[in-house]
Amino acid sequence: MRDMDFVQPDFAYGAAPDAARSGAGDVPVRLSIYADRAHLRATLREDASAAGLTVAAAGALADLAEDADRPLGDVVLVDCPQVDAASLAALARLDLRARQGGPRLIVSTSVDALEDVFACMDQSHPVLLVDPDRAERVIALGQVLAGFPSGRLRELSEDDRLMLLRLTEQVGQIAGRIDRLDPRGSAAAAGNAIAGRASPPGAAPHAKAQLPDAKLVRRIIRQRQLRARFFDGDLFADPAWDMLLDLTASRIEGKQVSVTSLCIAAAVPPTTALRWIGQMVDAGLFARVSDTGDRRRAFIALSDKADAAMASYFAEIVMTAAVPV
């Protein structure tokens, strides 16, 4: 018989004591947890409660696979470090339900299983974590909670409030970096200006810029990596640019890039790289490409927008280098 969770039995549905609140917007955020490790379910319960979530149900991965019609909460936390046909099928069904207006998903996995999990969850844009520690799981919860009205979270104790303030600060720092990729932001606007810069009045039209030789891009990548031999690599962490360079070189070479390979190119922890990949897809710079020969695999590629921007960028670099100082 499967072990029981430390706080309440698995799959305890029904109204929580604080669910009966006045006002239509006062129904608390409800969470479902699917993880085979009982101690992890207990930890997730504790962190979810601290964040003002009501744990509606918890169980093993098999429970998710066995009952596809089981009601889900507003947020579903899934831990799937190893995959088989049943777990991948369950994740794919969950992904489809979430896309159709269902819950927000937070899915943790391992480096070994990342390719399979990433490929089967292509509809709902889940928050993906790779071998996360407790802090990374809490940050993911904070990201998801940011999308819910504050009235749906219970009144917090002072200790809880301080914890969430620290969490908000961390998420804010991440969001600050991500904002620079927003097409409405200044950095993206500058990139768009390079990609579509108008010619001066009277100037002859010029041909569309082309991507440079792949050897040049690979040399730039090696030069960037060389810095880590002499300085702390964290001082120069720039995953978005590192991934853009890697995808540019691969596009020129005609190679497909897996999500695992791109995470390695980012030179940051996989969870951080996945977060940036998601933001780059949302910004229209990266595109997710399914493997036509194997639906269980997916690749990441430059979008046409990013291709044009990178070509214009390198053309500008070459033009600048040719001007005498």
For 236-294, what is each residue's pLDDT tens digit? 889 999 999 999 999 999 999 999 999 999 999 999 999 999 989 989 999 999 887 77
> What is the structure's pLDDT at 251?
95
Burial of residue 126, with CB atoms counted within 10 A of its CB: 0-12 exposed, 13-18 middle, 19 or more buried: buried
Report for 148-157, 158-167, 283-292: range of highest mean pLDDT: 283-292
CA distance 38 to 60: 8
pLDDT tier at 101, thresholds 50, 70, 90: confident
More confident residue, 28 or 144: 144
Q: Is 232 left (phi over 0), alpha (psi -120 to 50) or beta?
A: beta
More confident residue, 68 or 108: 108
Residue 209 CB coordination number (10 Å): 20
Residues shown for the chain: 325
> What is the structure's pLDDT at 290?
86
Write the DSSP symbol of residue 229: G
Choice among 24-38, 56-70, 151-165 with the minimum mean pLDDT: 151-165
pLDDT tier at 16, thresholds 50, 70, 90: very low
207-322 and 17-179 share a CATH fold = no
More confident residue, 10 or 300: 300
Beta bridge partners, 299, equal: 258, 289
> What is the structure's pLDDT at 191?
39
Does residue 20 register a pLDDT over 70? no
Can you tell me the mean pLDDT for 76-89? 92
pLDDT tier at 12, thresholds 50, 70, 90: very low
Can you tell me the mean pLDDT for 6-10? 43
Share of the chain above pLDDT 70, in %: 71
Can you tell me the mean pLDDT for 121-143? 89
Choice among 17-26, 120-129, 219-228 with the minimum mean pLDDT: 17-26
17-179: CATH architecture: 3-Layer(aba) Sandwich (3.40)
CA distance 113 to 84: 10
Can you tell me the mean pLDDT for 209-237? 88
Burial of residue 221, with CB atoms counted within 10 A of its CB: 0-12 exposed, 13-18 middle, 19 or more buried: middle
Among 40, 89, 98, CA closest to 62: 89
CA distance 107 to 126: 7
> What is the structure's pLDDT at 168?
52
Write the DSSP symbol of residue 72: -
> What is the structure's pLDDT at 57?
87
Compute CA distances 84 → 63, 113, 289, 291, whole Å.
15, 10, 23, 19
Pick the CATH number of 207-322 from 1.10.10.10, 3.20.20.70, 3.30.470.20, 1.10.1660.10: 1.10.10.10
Mean pLDDT of the chain: 77
CA distance 288 to 281: 8
pLDDT tier at 160, thresholds 50, 70, 90: low
Does residue 188 register a pLDDT over 60? no
Can you tell me the mean pLDDT for 191-207? 41
The secondary element (H helix, E strand) that includes residue 33 is strand 30-34
pLDDT tier at 100, thresholds 50, 70, 90: confident
Q: What 3-state DSSP class applies to 107?
A: strand
> What is the structure's pLDDT at 323?
56
> What is the structure's pLDDT at 182?
46
> What is the structure's pLDDT at 36?
92
Q: What residue segments make up the domains of the chain, in order of their start? A: 17-179, 207-322
The answer to whether the CB of 221 falls within 8 A of the CB of 215 is no
> What is the structure's pLDDT at 320?
75
Kindly tell me the sign of the dihedral angle through the C-alpha atoms of 156, 127, 235, 280.
negative
